Amino acid sequence: MQTMNKKPAKKAWAGAISQPATEFPLTPLPILSGKIPAGLRGTLYRNGPARLKRGNTQMGHWFDGDGAILAVNFHDAGATGIYRYVQTAGYQQETTAGKLLYGNYGTTAPGLIWQKWQKLTKNTANTSVLALPDKLLALWEGGHPHSLDLETLETQGLDNLGGLKTGWFYSAHPKIDAQTKEIFNFGLSLGLNATLNIYKSDWTGRIIQKSQFQLAGIPLIHDFVLAGKYLVFFIPAVRLDILPIIMGTSSYSDSLKWQPDLGTQILVIDRENLSLVSRQETEAWFQWHFANAYVDDHGAVIVDFTRYADFQTNQYLKEVATGETHNIAKNTLTRLVLQPQTGKVKTIETLLDRTGEFPNVPPQNVGQISRYTYMCLFREGTDISQELLNTIARFDHQSQTLTEANLGENRYPCESLTVQDALNHQQSWVLTVVYDGNCHSSEVWIFDSDRLDAEPVCQLALPSVVPHSFHGMWKARA
């Protein structure tokens, strides 16, 4: 008897994005194991694409899903959670219409050419958050941030932070100096050649200083880094072919071209007056995210980032939206040393030859030397062409050792965030949201930062599945 070739079952991670996420109101979160540390008091905010389908139309890229915010509040009586979609104008219009109306990063707009032109993109507000004293910003790098209520997550509308002009973007990766409370960020404004806009804000988020730099073509710049008295930008060898987008025949994602001959451009900016210190060119690579940077005792700038050999990562992320991936997008945790006054690269070395993403350091160490870098990784033996990141880890720069958590099979963490204990500043906790593909549920896991390879100190159940998110932030209780 001849057997039919069966299509392999989708991997467990696909369950988290198989259906649009379900919101839930403010709800007490049951403790599944352990207990909440007494010095962990505040709110964990997370943002990510929660709806990858509208009507019968599937989004063309993971980046295109409508954003939803998770807030987990830790207080003396326990923990509560709330989860809400950001009520962007595009989200509301498509909800009313019951179908896709807009294109986006990897999705072309429906309709005829003149209809596409009117709705090339919508602000999905789906990438990160910035918790300010009186509001929460939902960030997306292709437009202005949305302002939300810190407690109810009610959307209050677009926010120009007192300085964003029409057509100026505000990146999803602001950097906060823990000592001065200054907030630095950037965004592009588009034309035949893009303009890099750099912003300095006070602790309330209000923009107090701006500068602009002309770029060649339209590059893809997702992140930057604060390094002591400098801001550093790596501009990768990716450029946008705008014509197919205008004609409605291609998405932004498919119109981004890898051009290694362009190399990587490095811009070093003085953080005090936002002036250009140096501009240099070096070999080509691609990066989404930086871990951290600082100035060493000799005046050199040390930059740690996840380095890809090319732009194949974009194809892998495109496939994530379908629930099945096939491409390999390997990277390494890499350290680059440069001379800031000239921008000249002195050395490039691999710190960790493991594929991972979402690298970060404790917030108090941003822009300064940090002993530890935290990140998500693929466990050893994982087929990285078909899986999603499935563990979290801490790299110790002092001992050159890696400590990994053991989450078990079919469990997928989001970006891990380190939180300093309010009662003992020598103690830190690592927080992540885990999708358990074994039972189709989401949980909040809390680890002791010095015992990441031990059992979590606390696990909390969430009322419904929270799809894999991108970035988050901790706001300590005032």
Distance (Å, whole) CA 242 – CA 425: 50
CATH number for the domain that contains residue 448: 2.130.10
Domain assignment present for residue 7? The answer is no
pLDDT at 119: 77
Domain extent at residue 31: 15-164+176-476
Please, which pLDDT band fits residue 4 given cuts at 50, 70 and 90? very low
Amino acid at site 206: R
Does any domain span residue 6? no
The answer to whether position 201 is within a domain reads yes
At residue 314 the predicted structure's pLDDT band, cuts being 50, 70 and 90, is very high
pLDDT band at 5 (very low <50, low <70, confident <90, very high): very low
d(CA 28, CA 94) in angstroms, rounded, equals 31
Q: Which of 257, 258, 354, 346 is nearest to 299 (CA)?
A: 346
The total number of structural domains in the chain stands at: 1
DSSP E strands in 8-127: the ranges are 24-28, 31-34, 42-51, 53-54, 57-58, 66-75, 78-85
In this structure, is residue 171 part of a structural domain?
no
Q: Quick check: is 170 in a domain?
A: no
User: Is residue 466 assigned to a domain?
Assistant: yes
Average the pLDDT over 309-316 and give the result. 97
Is residue 87 in some structural domain? yes
Q: Which two tokens stand for residue 59?
A: 């989004």
Rg of the Cα atoms in the chain: 21
Task: Over range 7-29, report the average pLDDT.
Answer: 92
The predicted-structure confidence for 385-423, as pLDDT tens digits, reads as follows 999 999 999 999 999 999 999 999 999 999 999 999 999
